[in-house]
Amino acid sequence: MKSDDTTVLTIKYAGLQGLYWMSFCSVYSFASVFLLSQEFENQQIGFLLALANILSVILQPTIGSWLDRTGKLSLKAVVSCLTLSNMALLTGLLLSSGHLVWSAVLYGGAVTLTLTIQPLLNSFIFEYINEGHAVNYGLTRGIGSISFAFLSLLLGLLTTKTNPYILPLADIALLTFFLLLVQTFPLTEAQKRQKHLPDPPDSRGTVCSYAGFAKSYNRFSLFLLALTCLFIFHTITNTYLLQIMKQIGGQDSDFGLSLTIAAVCELPAMLGFGLLVTKYTSGTLLKVAGFFYVIRSLLFLTASSVLMINFAQLFQGLSFALYTPASIYYVNELMNDKDKVKGQTFIVGATTLGSVFGSMTGGWLLDHASVQAMLLLGMAAALVGSLLLFYSVKSDLQGKS
C-alpha cells in the first residue's frame, strides 16, 4: 500500500476518533449536567444510564451478527445509519420542551446509540489495516483522548455561563461532521468484491457454554468478577463526578477541568503501551492498574477540596488507561484462537455489569444516603476488585491455559 494513502487514512481516522470522543463527552460524560437541569433525580439518572449500557451491549453483538450474515452491508453504512438516528433523537430532545418521560426516552436512546457506535468504529479501521494500511491506531486513539479533554474543559465553562441545552446542540454539530467524514472513506477491496457476490446463506454461531469455557481457563471467572468490581468504582466516579464536586464546593467549570485532567493523563499509557508491553507482561500491568484503582478510590473518599479531587484524577493514567489495553492483550495471550472473541465479549459483559451496578447503586446512595456513602462503596469495590485481580491474573503467561 502507498504510504501517502495510509497517511491520509490515519489523518481521517484520527478525525473520526476525535469527533466521536467529543460526542461521547457531550452526551455521556455531561449526562448529569443536562439531566439534573431537566429535574431528574440522581437515582433516575443512574437507572437511565444503566439501561442505556444494557441496551448497547444487546445491540452491539446483534448488529455484528447481522453484518456477518448479510455480508453486503458495510460498516460504513451501518455507522452512518446509527449516526443519523442519533442526530434525530437529539433533535427530538431539543423539541421535547423538557417533558420528563420524552427526555428520558430520547436521551437514553442517544446514549445507547453513542455507546453502540464505539466498537463498530474500532472494527471500521481494522478493515483497512487488514488490507495492508499501517494506520497507527494508538496515535488516533490518543487524538480521541486529547479531543475529549479539550471539550470537557470547554463544556464545563460553557454550561456554567449558558443553558445546558448547549450539550445536545454541540453533539448534533459534532455528529454532523462525523457523518460527513465517514463518507470520505473509500470502499476496501473486500467490500468491493462482496458487492458482486451472491447473498450468503443464513448462519449462526454456536452457543457458547460458559461453564465449559470457565473450566478451560482457570480463574477466568474471578478475573471477570474483578473487572466488574473495578468498574463499579470507575462508573461511580465518572457518572457522579459533578455531584462529588458540588459536595465540596465545586462548580460546572471545575467538573469540566477535572474531566480534562483525567483524559490528558490517559495519553502516556495509551500512546506508549506498545513499548510497555515489550518490557512487562500484560498480567503485571493489569496488577499495577488494580493497585492504582485502590489508591485513586482512597483519594476520592478522603478528598475535601477540588484540588484533592484533581490530584486523584492524575491516577487515571495508571489505572483505567493502563487497564484498557492490558486487558485486551491479556485475553489475547491467555486464550486459544477459537476462544479469543468470546473472551473479549465476556470482558465487555463484566465491565458493563459493573457500570450498571455502579450507576444504579450510586444514584440510590446519593438520593438516600450521601456522597461519602457512595464513595465508600466505590472504594470497597475497588479493593475487592484489586485483590481478585492479583489472585486471578497470571503475571507470566507461558502459553495457553
Mean pLDDT, rounded, for 289-311: 95
pLDDT beyond 50 at 101: yes
Please give the single-letter amino acid code of residue 180.
L
Residue 51 to residue 6: CA distance in whole angstroms: 39
* Span 322-364, pLDDT tens digits: 888 788 778 777 877 566 656 666 777 788 788 888 988 998 9
Percent of the chain with pLDDT over 90: 37
Residue that the C-alpha cell 483505567 belongs to: 320
The more confidently predicted of residues 73 and 99 is 99
Do residues 241 and 369 both lie within one domain? yes
pLDDT at 138: 67
Cell of 101: 418521560
* Span 224-281, pLDDT tens digits: 999 999 999 999 998 899 899 989 988 878 888 898 898 888 888 877 876 787 888 9
Residue 167 to residue 160: CA distance in whole angstroms: 12
pLDDT at 306: 93
pLDDT at 148: 86
Residue 269 to residue 247: CA distance in whole angstroms: 31
pLDDT beyond 70 at 177: yes
pLDDT beyond 60 at 204: no
Number of domains in the chain: 2
Mean pLDDT, rounded, for 273-300: 91
Half-sphere exposure of 268 (CA within 13 A, CB side): 9
Residue 111 to residue 115: CA distance in whole angstroms: 6
Do residues 175 and 235 both lie within one domain? no
Residue that the C-alpha cell 479531587 belongs to: 309
Do residues 262 and 374 both lie within one domain? yes
Average pLDDT, the chain: 83
pLDDT at 220: 87
Whether 186 maps to a domain, the answer reads yes
Contacts of 67 (CB under 8 A, 6+ apart): 73, 75, 78
Do residues 144 and 285 both lie within one domain? no
Residues of the domain holding 257 = 210-393
The more confidently predicted of residues 246 and 87 is 87
Closest CA to 221 of 230, 210, 232, 231: 210
pLDDT at 208: 45
Is residue 142 within 8 A of residue 5, CB to CB? The reply is no
Do residues 122 and 55 both lie within one domain? yes
pLDDT at 119: 74
3-state secondary structure the chain: CCHHHHHHHHHHHHHHHHHHHHHHHHHHHCHHHHHHHCCCCHHHHHHHHHHHHHHHHHHHHHHHHHHHHHCCCCHHHHHHHHHHHHHHHHHHHHHCCCCHHHHHHHHHHHHHHHHHHHHHHHHHHHHHHCCCCCCCHHHHHHHHHHHHHHHHHHHHHHHHHCCCCHHHHHHHHHHHHHHHHHCCCCCCHHHHHHCCCCCCCCCCCCCCCHHHHHHHCCCHHHHHHHHHHHHHHHHHHHHCHHHHHHHCCCCHHHHHHHHHHHHHHHHHHHHHHHHHHHHCCHHHHHHHHHHHHHHHHHHHHHCCCHHHHHHHHHHHHHCHHHHHHHHHHHHHHHCCHHHHHHHHHHHHHHHHHHHHHHHHHHHHHHHHCCHHHHHHHHHHHHHHHHHHHHHHCCCCCCCCC
- Which domain-ending residue is among 167, 195, 223? 195
Residue 165 to residue 235: CA distance in whole angstroms: 24
pLDDT beyond 80 at 192: no
Do residues 216 and 183 both lie within one domain? no
Contacts of 101 (CB under 8 A, 6+ apart): none
Do residues 236 and 363 both lie within one domain? yes
pLDDT at 205: 43
Whether 400 maps to a domain, the answer reads no
pLDDT at 43: 81
Cell of 199: 447473498
Please report which confidence band the pLDDT of residue 200 belongs to, taking 50, 70 and 90 as the band edges: very low
pLDDT at 256: 81
Greatest alpha-carbon pair distance for the chain in Å reads 65
The more confidently predicted of residues 245 and 398 is 245
Residue 374 to residue 354: CA distance in whole angstroms: 14
Do residues 94 and 61 both lie within one domain? yes
pLDDT at 339: 66
pLDDT beyond 90 at 194: no
- Which domain-ending residue is among 171, 195, 219? 195
pLDDT at 338: 63
Half-sphere exposure of 46 (CA within 13 A, CB side): 25
Q: CATH code at 137?
A: 1.20.1250.20
Closest CA to 340 of 183, 235, 216: 216
* Span 5-57, pLDDT tens digits: 788 888 999 999 999 999 999 999 889 889 988 888 888 888 898 889 888 87
pLDDT at 2: 59
The more confidently predicted of residues 355 and 396 is 355
The more confidently predicted of residues 372 and 209 is 372
The more confidently predicted of residues 112 and 145 is 112
